[in-house]
Structure 1
Amino acid sequence: MREFFKYVFATVVGIIISTFLIFLFFIVIVFSVISSLDTSSSTTVAANSVLYLNLDQTIKERTPNKTFDNLPVIGSGSGKSIGFNDLIMALKKAKTDDNIKCIFLNVSSPNAGKATLKEVRDAIIDFRKSKKQVIAYSEVYTQDAYYLASAADKVYLNPQGVLEFKGFSSQLTFFKGAMEKIGVEAQIIRVGNYKSAVEPFINDKMSDYNRTQVSAYLGGLYDTFLNGIAETRKIPADSLYVIADTYRIKQPQDALNAKMIDGLKYKDEVLAELKKLSGLSPRQKIVSLTINEYAANLEPENSSSRDRVAVIYANGDITSGEGNDDSIGSERISRAIRKAREDDKVKAIVLRVNSGGGSALASDVIWREIVLSKKVKPVIASFGDVAASGGYYIACAADSIFVQPNTITGSIGVFGIIPNFQNLLNNKLGITFDGVKTGQYADIMSVNRPLTAGERLIIQNDVNHVYATFTSRVAEGRKKSQSYIDSIGGGHVWVGTDAVKIGLADRLGNFQDAITAAAKKAKLKEYKLVEYPQKTDPIKSFLEDGTENIRIYYAKKEFGDNFLLFQQLKKAVVNSGIQARMPFEIKVN
């Protein structure tokens, strides 16, 4: 027996020592990788350079720290990425940079929302004012890719390539039948007929209310898409509608015949044209640099100015706590707003919102900081792809709200989902529960039984209270009556152009327009932009969230396009508290 324990002890010690050595070895590897991925050195822009606009990457709200940029498993899970504003500022700089002779736009399937794509597309059009050429080429253009490419001077497609042009569709997935099969009931408490986040769990098809609003905002997105292409390609929007509706673009030659492209070329032919545009002979090698490399050389404008305009990025789901660069933690964002408010050098604040909402309580915490800030300095809100429900809540008190025509906003409504697993646990798994309690409502949020009538009334009253608070906040901020806000609320989703018409937003404009308006309201002629909150440290993020990032990375690989469905089902089960959230995850194909 003594020998047995001796060997067991020796084995345990061996395992501990081995684990420690492996961990130490892993840390050494990580820091070696970090050293090899150092991007702090600047990139030299040679004469006669071609700027390579590689847009088949994630276009985020902010350019992340680049330490793990090429290691998606332990990084953000998305590989290369760039912040849309850095991209736009880089194009603005390239416009007057004599060393940049032209742009090569290569894009097949960009990873960005509709409003972000419009920001980038408008920047490409602005670059063309320099009279420098923008050449777009791809073997495959998705609709989003073609939307970007159509801003170029010349659009080329591989002779055997594909141009997708078919119109927009938005499909929702309903889980009611699957939940019934496994014995799970979704108990729904909500306010607003349009607050359809709950529909996938109680219906097997779209309600009439939801179908109406989806048709409206999808039509708005499509109008922006068609009108943008019509303007740059000189093709009437009505003609483009017919081309898509009849699925006319089946072969590459069809796209050329419809004048949607300028030629069918192989890449070597495009490269030859780029050489000519950059003043090189056929035998000379093209000198190029990516937009990521070029953006890394950007320097702040008016960096010597004492006056500042603070940009606060609020991106992702709204939750209580700290959050990170991809989620809005009420503590982190409210602290950033407070810091900007209390800094005498900061003369104005721009709140950049890209969020479908989340916790109603966390949204109210952030709203309070905006209200306090508005009393002492101008606060302007800029909405990105989505600023809806809680995302709208946090910004409704701003002095002015800027939206893109294809921003998704509104969704002023509240809901709660309390799953009931009793049938699954009792009848299918044979698990039962019993216990005691000191009060009638001590286990009010229990998920192993259905809600009682009294419990449902309590929760409904809570939801009603949150909705009344939400609409009163919006009414106060937008200087409207609460009854009017209720009439356009009820969970109704609006596209940006309609949001301006009904008073939920003030102006159509991009991010830079919002910054300019903030500076003007603060009477600033020169200023320095400062960004809040501080970006998440990649090493700290890895140490804290590395396992979660790895799990998400492999889940995305396993589920593919169905990963969104997995997320939706998970949210329905794990989201606690009353939610001010978008009715659904919008995916336009």
Structure 2
Amino acid sequence: MKDFFKYVFATVIGIVISTVVLAIIFMVVIFSAISSIGEDKPVEVKNNSVLYIDLDQAITERTPTNSLAGLPIIGGSDVKSIGFYDLIKALKAAKTDDKIDCIYLNVSAPNAGMATMLEVRNALLDFKESKKPIIAYSEVYSQGAYYLASVANKVYLNPQGALEFKGFSSELTFFKGALDKLGVEAQIIRVGNYKSAVEPFINTKMSDYNRQQVTAYVNGLYQTFLQGISQTRKISTDSLALLANDYKIQQPKDALAYRMVDGLRYKDEVLDELKTITGKNKKENITSIPLNKYAQKLPASTSGSPSQVAVIYANGDIVGGEGSDEQIGSERISRAIRKARLDDDIKAIVLRVNSGGGSALASDVIWREIVLSKKVKPVIASFGDVAASGGYYIGCAADSIFVQPNTITGSIGVFGIIPNFQNLLNNKLGITFDGVKTGQYADIMSTNRPLTPGERFIIQNDVNHVYDSFITRVADGRKKTKAQVDSIGGGHVWTGSDAVKIGLADRLGSFNDAIKAAAKKAKLSDYQIVEYPEKIDPWKSFITEAKDNAHVYFAKKEFGENYLLYKQMQKAIVNSGIQARMDYEIKIK
């Protein structure tokens, strides 16, 4: 027995020591991975190089400072990502880089919005002015992938591959039937017939107002898509529309017959062509450099001028507090704007918005900082894929607003959703409530009973007040009357092209155009670009992303293709306060 306890004790001690040692090793690995983030590693570009561009990665607003790729964390992503502006700067540098002979473009299913893809496409078009060829190859082209690849001098498709070309569709998911079965009532308070963010919870199909606006903006996005392809493939937009409408591109040979591609090739044949372009024989290896690495070697600024233009990125849902790199936290973004306003070296501000909105209160906090900044230096807004509802709110005070033709914007309206779980709790689960209160409105916003007429009146007044503030802000910023703004507001969603026509935006233009306009307004000929807000500390980001990635990993594994529905329901549940948002995601199929 004495020996037994001795061995048990020794075993326990061994397990404890092993656990501690493993924990130390684990922390050393993590610390090394985190601390290496952002280290400058020399990137060599050899003569006669091919710039390899893999666009099957997330094209984000900013290149992340820290990636969890390769870290021992559940759900850690191995997916690369690059900020679209870093991508554009890399293409601009490659245009005049004597060591870059051509571009090899690989894209099957890009992870980017329509306006972002237009920015990238235009940057590729600019590169072509160097007379250096772009060769695109893929086994499968989605519609978005083909939109990008169609820029290339040569577009090749695998002989057994596929090219998707069928037109756009937009599908909304409605939850009312499920809520009815659960016994949950979504009590809606809103302003604007077009404010359709609430429709999934109260309807089983689109309202006439929503169908009208969705039809308009989907057609607008489609026309931009067709015009781009028409420009580079020399096929009329009418012919392209017919090909899509009749689903003519069913086999690779169809894509070749209708001049959508230049050839059906296997990858080895494409590589042989790249060798010929770069002066290699067939036995030699191609000298190439990935875009992501090439972008790393570029200097932050090529100007020695002390004058600066600050770019402030406002990306994601608008929330109160600090937010994150993928959220617009009112405290964090307003602090960044304030810092740029008070810095005498910063002569102009560009607010880059990519947001479907969020908290109306948080939007107003950010709007206030833009108004104050506009009084002391130029402020230009650049709208990305989406700058709608609260996303439009925060940018409406800018001196000038730049949009892409396929930017989604507007949606000037507000709403609130107060769920009533009484039927579910009382009749289905047998849960009841009782209590006391000191006033008839002490338990206003209770979710275990329906709103009283008095409560609904109070909340509607609050929503009306927020909407009135919203259209007042827009009217002041856009030099219009409140009546004029109301006539194009009411929650109506517009494309960038239409927004310029009705005065919600000033110019069609790229992010670079917005920066140049800011510099011109500040009378700058030489300047540096500085970016705000500062990216979140890698350790904090690591911890947050680890938790979030694990959650997303298990949710995606559980729900599969229905993950988007889960995400929408989750967002509706956690939203608090009056919302100025497009609460559904536009997904073009």
Matched, 1:167 2:191: no
Aligned residue number for residue 310 of structure 2: 310
Do the aligned partners of 1:37 and 1:68 also contact (CA within 8 Å) in 2?
A: no
**Residue type of the partner of 1:362?**
A
User: In the alignment, is residue 448 of structure 1 matched against residue 435 of structure 2?
Assistant: no
Count residues in correspondence.
580
Q: Structure 2: state its 5+ residue gaps.
A: 1-10
| 2:489 matched residue in structure 1 | 489
Partner of 2:572: 572
1:351 and 1:437 mapped to 2: Cα distance? Answer: 47
Q: Is the 8 A contact 1:377 1:522 kept in 2?
A: yes
Deviation at 1:303, TM superposition (A): 3.4
Q: Equivalent residues in 2 for 1:7-406 (5 A)?
A: 23-34=23-34, 40-71=40-71, 77=77, 79-406=79-406
Which residue of structure 2 lines up, in the alignment, with residue 562 of structure 1?
Answer: 562
Q: Is the CA contact 1:187–1:419 (under 8 Å) kept in the aligned structure 2?
A: yes
Partner Cα distance (1:33, 1:424) in 2: 49
Question: Equivalents in 1 of 2:72, 2:242: separation in Å?
Answer: 41
Bigger mean CA deviation after superposition, 323-332 or 280-289: 280-289
Deviations 1:370-392 (A, max 9, x none): 00000000000000000000000
Instruction: Say if 1:200 and 1:22 are closer, same or farther in 2 by CA, change over 3 A.
Output: farther
Instruction: State whether residues 70 and 79 of structure 1, in contact with CA within 8 Å, keep that contact through their aligned partners in structure 2.
Output: no
Q: Deviations over 1:347-405 (max 9, x none)?
A: 00000000000000000000000000000000000000000000000000000000000
Q: What is the SS of the residue equivalent to 1:101?
A: strand
- Farther-moved stretch of structure 1 (134-143 vs 60-69): 60-69
Deviation at 1:438, TM superposition (A): 1.2
* Separation in 2, partners of 1:223, 1:14: 69
- Deviation at residue 69 of structure 1 after TM alignment: 3.9
Shift in Å at residue 142 of structure 1? 0.1
Query: Which digits, 9 at most, give the CA deviation of each residue in 1:563-586, with x for residues without a partner?
Result: 221111112222110000015211
Residue identity opposite 1:357 in structure 2: G
Give the Cα–Cα distance (whole angstroms) in 2 for the partners of residues 66 and 435 of structure 1: 50
Q: Does structure 2 conserve the Cα–Cα contact (< 8 Å) formed by 1:67 and 1:538?
A: no
8 Å contact kept, 2:75–2:553: no
Structure 2 CA distance for partners of 1:542 and 1:205, relative to 1, 3 Å: same
Structure 1 unaligned spans of 5+: 1-10
The SS at the match of 1:314 is strand
Query: Does the CA-based 8 Å contact 1:397-1:473 persist in structure 2?
Result: yes
Q: Deviations over 1:124-176 (max 9, x none)?
A: 11101000000000000000000000000000000000000000000000000
**Counterparts in 2 of 1:75 and 1:515: CA distance versus 1, 3 Å:** farther
Map 1:441-480 onto structure 2 (within 5 A): 441-480=441-480
Deviations 1:486-530 (A, max 9, x none): 000000000000000000000000000000000000000000000
Distance (Å, rounded) in 2 between the aligned partners of 1:265 and 1:280: 19
- Listed as ranges, the matches of 1:496-575 within 5 Å are 496-575=496-575
Secondary structure of the equivalent of 1:130? coil
1:353, 1:384 within 8 Å by CA — same for their partners in 2? yes
Q: Are 2:137 and 2:156, in contact at CA under 8 Å, matched by a contact in 1?
A: yes
Structure 2 CA distance, aligned partners of 1:78 and 1:440? 55
Contact 1:496 1:508 in 2 (8 A): yes
Structure-1 separation of matches of 2:205 and 2:525: 54
1:195 and 1:490 in contact (8 A); partners too: yes
**Residues in 1 aligned to 2:73 and 2:492: alpha-carbon distance in whole angstroms:** 38
TM-superposed deviation, 1:425: 1.1
Counterpart residue identity of residue 575, structure 1 = N
Task: For 2:294, give the aligned amino acid.
Answer: Y
Native 8 Å contact 1:72 1:78 kept in 2: no
CA change 1:36–1:429 in 2 (3 A) is same
- Aligned partners of 2:68 and 2:77 also within 8 Å: no
Q: Which moved more, 1:471-480 or 1:58-67?
A: 58-67
Give 1:296's aligned amino acid.
Answer: Q
* Cα deviations by residue, 1:90-139 (Å, 9 ceiling, x for unpaired): 00000000110000000000000000000000101110100000000000
Distance (whole Å) between structure 2 residues aligned to residue 72 and residue 123 of structure 1:
36
1:470 maps to amino acid = F
Moved more, 354-363 or 278-287: 278-287
Query: Which AA in structure 1 matches 2:90?
Result: A
Q: Is the 8 A contact 1:72 1:79 kept in 2?
A: no
Q: In the TM superposition, what is the alpha-carbon distance from 1:17 to its structure 2 partner? A: 8.9
- Please give the alpha-carbon distance, in whole angstroms, between the structure 1 residues aligned to 2:192 and 2:428: 34
Cα drift, residue 536 of structure 1? 1.5
- Measure how far apart 1:548 and its partner are: 2.5
Amino acid at match of 1:227: Q
Deviation at 1:66, TM superposition (A): 3.4
8 A Cα contact 1:39 1:66, kept in partner: no
Work out whether residues 51 and 100 of structure 2, in 8 Å CA contact, stay in contact via their aligned partners in 1: yes
Give the residue type in structure 2 aligned to 1:412: I
- Separation in structure 1 between the aligned mates of residue 67 and residue 574 of structure 2, nearest angstrom: 31
Amino acid at match of 1:179: L
Give the Å deviation of 1:38.
6.7
Cα distance in 2 between the residues matched to 1:551 and 1:284: 46
Letter in 1 for 2:153: D
Preserved CA contact (<8 Å) 2:34 2:539: no
Give the structure-2-normalised TM-score: 0.95
CA distance in 2 between counterparts of 1:72 and 1:525 reads: 48
Letter of the structure 2 residue corresponding to residue 568 of structure 1 = Q
Alpha-carbon distance in 1 for matches of 2:339, 2:74: 31
Letter in 2 for 1:187: Q
Conservation of the 8 A alpha-carbon contact between 2:68 and 2:542: no
User: Secondary structure of 2:484's match?
Assistant: helix
